[in-house]
Chain A
Amino acid sequence: MSQIFHPSTNTLSKVSIVSVVLLLGGLGYGLLALNRSPYVARTKIPFDQPVPFSHKHHVAGLGIDCRYCHTTVERTASAGMPTTETCMSCHSMIWTNAPMLEPVRQSWATGKSLEWTRVHDLPGFVYFNHSIHVNKGIGCASCHGRVDQMPLVHQENTLYMEWCLDCHRHPEKHIRPRDKVFEMAYQPPANQLELGAKLVKEYKVQKLTDCYTCHR
């Protein structure tokens, strides 16, 4: 009885085994990469807003502190969105005829809220509190990126659980002195891990990785 398979099928079978493994691995890797891509995670995409508010102009250009508008970031879970009154503190006097500010003036005149589009949209099952993070030395830019360079705000990071956990497991990689939290251009020093470990101790930062820290 002759051989059923020609000797060349030896090579074919080896190649196909390797390529199936590679293909499946590649597919898995590709899916994970897709999941973290700007397209799926909605990062790096500026959102249309009722008023094209530029953080770049107000923060980098004018030097206004984050907390001038986000007044509750040190006290409550929400950083706080500025009221129309906050906008009008200056814009009742300057740029009073700018067409792009018409919605703000409308809101001021009618008392109706400006309806901004939420950029950082955490899932409903995640609890997040701004105040604890800024009070423990996590800078605004660590999560939000260089907002002072954004004409229109986009989401810088995925806000995925793996991203949160990376910092909750290793806070020393990202922590900074409390008085630098609102500094947009802060550069971590060369000995960040050393300084970080010291600050983690000093600020009594706990490595909270229990499920119920965020899912409560």
Chain B
Amino acid sequence: MKRLPWLLLIGGSMLMMGCRQDMHDQPRFRLNAATDLFGDRRAARPLVQGTVARGMLKTDTALWSGKVGNKNVDQFPFPITREVIERGRDRYNIFCSPCHGLTGHGDGMIVSRGLKKPPSYHTDALREQSVGHIYNVITNGNGSMMSYASRIPMRDRWAITAYVRVLQQSQNVKVSELTAEERRKLEGAQ
């Protein structure tokens, strides 16, 4: 019976081997991990100032900042196809509709919860704004609206811009501009 404590010890420590989690918790940082190595406690380090990823020099200012010189561009920097507009609708509904509403009247759900009502897109002043202006508002924010540059990639911001134009047009067509068939549809709906 003298052997019993030893057997328990060895048996017990063999069972404990199953409790090590080295493979689970590997000595590397995962995305957004915290660390005490740096003052800001972030494992992800900011890029050294002036770092440019390959192909991201952004020399095409019309494309990236919606401006040429100091002036907002009034032409889209790439062709707007149906595909781009549909992508724009998709992104608009995700990122913009909570405040601006699905049709751009500034009546989104968050407005009903107390957010300051954003201006409607359907005013002459905003209809006359350049596409570069709309792109810039999405990119840099405007008034109390935050920048969406870190959330929406550049091409999607242009797609949203195109969709905002579509929304503006959708709410501002004269009956006389409709085709005969569309007029019939409209009259049928009334």
Q: Which residues of A come within 8 Å of B, CB atoms?
A: 62-65, 67-68, 71, 75, 78, 81, 83, 85-86, 88-90, 92-94, 111-113, 115, 123-125
Contacts and interface: CB of A to CB of B under 8 A. Distances in A.
Nearest to A78: B31
Nearest to A111: B40
Nearest to B114: A94
Given A62-B110, A78-B31, A124-B25, A93 B144 contact: yes
Interface residues of B, number: 31
Given A113-B40, A123-B23, 10 more contacts: A62-B109, A63-B109, A65-B94, A67-B94, A78-B31, A92-B144, A94-B110, A115-B41, A123-B24, A124-B25
A83 B151 CA distance: 9
A112 B116 contact: no
A64 B93 CA distance: 9
B147 interface: yes
Interface of A is mostly: loop
Given A62-B109, A63-B109, A85-B147, A68 B41 contact: no
Nearest to B153: A75
A147 to B, nearest CB: 16
B23 A71 contact: no
B113 A62 contact: yes
Contacts of B93: 65
Interface in B147-161: 147, 150-153
Contacts of B31: 78
Most buried by B among A81, A85, A86, A115: A85
Nearest to B40: A112
11 contacts: A62-B113, A68-B94, A68-B95, A68-B98, A85-B147, A90-B98, A90-B110, A92-B146, A93-B115, A93-B116, A123-B23
Contact of B146 (A78, A81, A88, A113): A88
A71 B151 contact: yes
Contact of A115 (B34, B109, B110, B153): B34
